[in-house]
Amino acid sequence: MKLTPEQQAEIEAVRAQRSETRRATAPDLEEILYQPIPVLDHGFVRVIDYMGDDSAVVQAARVSYGKGTKQVQNDAGLINYLIRQRHTTPFEMCEIKYHIKLPIFVARQWIRHRTANVNEYSARYSIMDKEYYIPEPDQLAAQSASNRQGRGDVLEGEEAAHVLALLREDAETCYSHYEEMLNEDADGAPLDESRSGLARELARMNLTLNMYTQWYWKIDLHNLMHFLSLRADSHAQYEIRVYADVMVETLKRWVPLTYEAFKNYRIGNVSLSAKGFEVVKALLAGQSVDQEKSGLSKREWRELMAVLGREDGI
């Protein structure tokens, strides 16, 4: 990810500003405020603003004045309880705003989380930058034979080189045609004075999904954790997971007590159905259990045994 001198100067200017406030601040998050954190080849995540901290969650839960108790262990215990019992409202009192640069196909997957406020770069108003995502060779994988949404074995040799060449060629060709249809350079000046060029809102239609877009994305803490629990998961698509991984680190800087509870009860937890719980109890009692008698489907049974580190219930 490269920043222009103008972009770097703008970041340095906003980071140089200082404001006196009575609001709660998160010192560790303040350290990286406005700074772009690189993701993929041209993407980034920036924290632009935030409201509240761990004490705001506790305050909302107790509906108290000031900070309430000043004992960190008590606050941590309450936050653990809130997450464990799925009391979500206190976490909705905190918000964070990101500036994110990401490939369009990732953005279209991301926007399925409809619990944020989003304002995206407009290709009707501005000209798209010539930046597109090309995967690293170790991320070029065939379609999984067992998972319609997943990847299988990594492509190698000539086959991988051919796919990379196609991706670059298609992106370059489509952007070249985009410029030709626009008849504009990046500053809006005509390339050929003898013709008008196509409207920006139409010229954009042939751009590839690996082109980069940008947006401001504002979300409350509860819905951020829901997003991260799904997208920072090992089963999530790599290209969105790397963004979520970066955002998990910003969560840690912003609300460390909430982060620890989130890591324990959301990222590191295992959910059991009522029937699955009965199987676990039977196994703890030394009983033999098989899939047919458990009442679980074959898929549920395989998933439960994988969680327990067993091949079967015997």
- Residues designated catalytic: 231
- Count of H helices and E strands in the chain? 13, 7
Q: Which of 141, 147, 149 is nearest to 299 (CA)?
A: 147
- Please list, in sequence order, all residues whose beta carbon lies within 8 angstroms of the beta carbon of residue 262, skipping any fewer than 6 positions away: 83, 225, 228, 229, 251
Q: What are the tokens at 187?
A: 């500053």
CA distance 123 to 81: 45
CA distance 131 to 61: 45
- Please list, in sequence order, all residues whose beta carbon lies within 8 angstroms of the beta carbon of residue 104, skipping any fewer than 6 positions away: 207, 208, 209, 210, 211, 212, 213
- Please list, in sequence order, all residues whose beta carbon lies within 8 angstroms of the beta carbon of residue 151, skipping any fewer than 6 positions away: 141, 142, 143, 144, 238
- Residue reference for tokens 């060779």: 137
Q: What are the tokens at 28?
A: 């560790």
CA distance 170 to 168: 6
Phi, psi at 271, each rounded to 5°: -100, 135
Name the strand (E) or helix (H) holding 49. strand 43-51
Q: Are 1 and 43 in contact (CB under 8 A)?
A: yes
The SS3 of residue 282 is helix
DSSP single-letter state for residue 189 = -
Q: Can you say whether residue 188 is alpha, beta or left, with left for phi > 0 and alpha for psi between -120 and 50 degrees?
A: left
Q: What are the tokens at 15?
A: 């980071």
